[in-house]
Structure 1
Amino acid sequence: MKEIKEEFTIGNYDFSIDHKNSTVEVEGSKIVDLTIKGNENIFETLCENDDFEFSYGIYSPEFYAREMDLGKKGQIVINEKNQNDYDTALYFM
């Protein structure tokens, strides 16, 4: 079995995952709600670095995907052609 690595990265920065405030809800091959929130403590620590390019941010990042059918293969690739067909977003204030 392949090991699953949990991480929430943007560029070279790992924001870790705030498991308490993140949600994974799957029914069969459909993602009902996948909300991944970055760890606020990790974000604050990163903001202390002078070279952190996102230090202007107010909150740690959050990604969500909702109501996505993964089909028979159990996976999906979102690209420029189909990105508007799905309810996904990356918030970073």
Structure 2
Amino acid sequence: MPSDCATRKLGMTFHRFPRDYGLRRKWEVALRREGFAADDEWVLCSDHFKPDEFDRAGQVCLLRPGVIPSVLNFPAHLGRVRARKTTTKQP
């Protein structure tokens, strides 16, 4: 893994999972990892967020409040969940 200085030069930052349980749960669900539960040490890199979801006004790059990771590449079998059509037979 590259050093912290190397990743900053590449424009990559790391962001801890939220402490707020509701928002943390949304992050966990977004990752689509069955049985996954993050703790206070888990982080996601900036590649998993859209550029406009960052507050870069200060010296530290922060995520805007309430942001959920949305830039995720999943294998085909974990692709977008679709609602199933149900049909009923008529007598």
Shorter-chain TM-score: which interval? under 0.3
TM-score normalised over the length of structure 2: 0.24
Greater share of residues in strand: 1
Q: Which is helix-richer, 1 or 2?
A: 2
